[in-house]
Chains A and B, each alone.
Chain A
């Protein structure tokens, strides 16, 4: 990957990657640091595939691992409130925005990642398994549980 191809890759992925991290992390203080670290780690990997789709999958996998590290770090230190406010976010209905963020924050971190990858990124079970480091066979069950739980909050 050269500088020009990285710039076009960045332009295409920074938004979706940032949204994935922001919505599944449930707290906005670390989002940009994690996204930045994702790109730095991606660029430092020994072999980057030519296919941008593959590179995008690698980027999401790196971001997922970094978020898992962040959750582990938070568990060791002081637990923080998830579903925090969104400073600076522009939108027509702040109350609705906060409600949706809180509902999503009620799910387990891995459930949030699975739902996002499945419904927003359109990833299949194999891709979700690769991104989250779980067995492909487990994804179907885990995703079903996540969906059930979210539906129960929404009903």
Chain B
């Protein structure tokens, strides 16, 4: 029969007594509440996961839109007479700026 190291026995006994000390009163919520809170968080996680590809694609679609607008503007500018070209330029740039600002505002509101 082997005897336990006295140091080990001292620590073991002390830990037993320490773990038996009472704790302050618990403020933990009921398990039902925790379950439903976790359920809600899980649903939010699912929504965020579903929206993630759309959010990732958003800058790409906006970039395509702006590039398309610039190409259209250049094409029309070359074919249109002087005063009309300036009007087209101002309109296309204005629309592109509005789309850009609108996209940024929507993103900020989401986050």
Taken residue by residue from 1 to 45, chain B's Cβ proximity to chain A (1 for < 8 Å, 0 otherwise) reads as 000000110111011111101111111110110110111011001
Distance A32 CA – B29 CA, assembled complex (angstroms): 9
Taken residue by residue from 58 to 71, chain A's Cβ proximity to chain B (1 for < 8 Å, 0 otherwise) reads as 00000000000000
Q: What is the distance, in angstroms, from B35's C-beta to the closest C-beta of chain A? A: 5
Please name the 10 residue pairs, one residue from A and one from B, whose CB atoms are nearest each other, closest first: A43-B38, A119-B15, A10-B31, A88-B24, A120-B19, A32-B27, A151-B7, A7-B31, A91-B22, A89-B24
Distance A151 CA – B4 CA, assembled complex (angstroms): 14
The contact of B31 among A6, A22, A31, by CB within 8 Å, is A6
Known contacts A39-B38, A120-B15, A120-B19; A7 and B27 CB within 8 A of each other: no
**Cβ of A86: which chain B residues have Cβ within 8 Å of it?**
23-24
Chain A: interface secondary structure? helix
Q: What is the distance, in angstroms, from B83's C-beta to the closest C-beta of chain A? A: 62
Pick from A11-19, A72-80, A126-134 the stretch touching chain B: A11-19
Distance A43 CA – B45 CA, assembled complex (angstroms): 12
Count of A-B contacts judged by CB separation below 8 Å:
92
Chain B: interface secondary structure? helix
Q: What is the distance, in angstroms, from B47's C-beta to the closest C-beta of chain A? A: 14
Q: Chain A interface (Cβ within 8 Å of chain B)?
A: 3, 6-7, 10-11, 14, 18-19, 22-23, 28, 31-32, 35-36, 39-40, 43-44, 86-91, 97, 100-101, 104, 115-116, 119-120, 147-148, 150-151, 154-155
24 interchain pairs, CB-CB under 8 A: A3-B35, A7-B31, A10-B34, A14-B26, A18-B23, A22-B23, A28-B23, A31-B24, A36-B29, A40-B34, A40-B38, A43-B34, A43-B42, A44-B41, A86-B23, A88-B24, A89-B22, A90-B22, A91-B21, A97-B21, A100-B18, A120-B15, A151-B7, A154-B11
Contact check, B25 vs A88: say whether CB atoms are below 8 A apart. Answer: yes
